[in-house]
Amino acid sequence: MLVAVPYFLAANGLKMLIEDGGSAWLSLPLLWCLVMGLAFLLLGPACLALLVRERLRKRVLVVRRDELRAPRRH
């Protein structure tokens, strides 16, 4: 998620260059920076959620495995 910050800073710099009379071709890298920034901003939390889900799933599997291996007391 923090990876998106440099992309937005670069987009802001490009926007300022365009507004100060820079080439219209600078709009292409500006658009690229915005798309990449949004992608990192949106996919960051999604990846974290998937990572947490997978770690919880593995923990449940380990607990179940340990329960099966442990001798039962009556």
Q: Is the pLDDT of residue 59 over 70?
A: yes
Percent of all residues in the chain with a pLDDT value above 70, rounded to a whole number: 99
Burial-class residue 33 by CB neighbours within 10 Å (0-12, 13-18, 19+). buried
| pTM beyond cutoff 0.85 | no
For 14, other C-beta atoms within 10 Å of its C-beta total 20
Alpha carbon distance 31, 5 (integer Å): 15
Nearest 5°: the CA angle 7, 13, 15 is 100
For the chain, the structural domain boundaries read 4-69
Over residues 30-51, the pLDDT tens digits come to 999 999 999 999 999 999 999 9
The tokens of 27 are what?
Answer: 């709009």
Amino acid in position 46: A
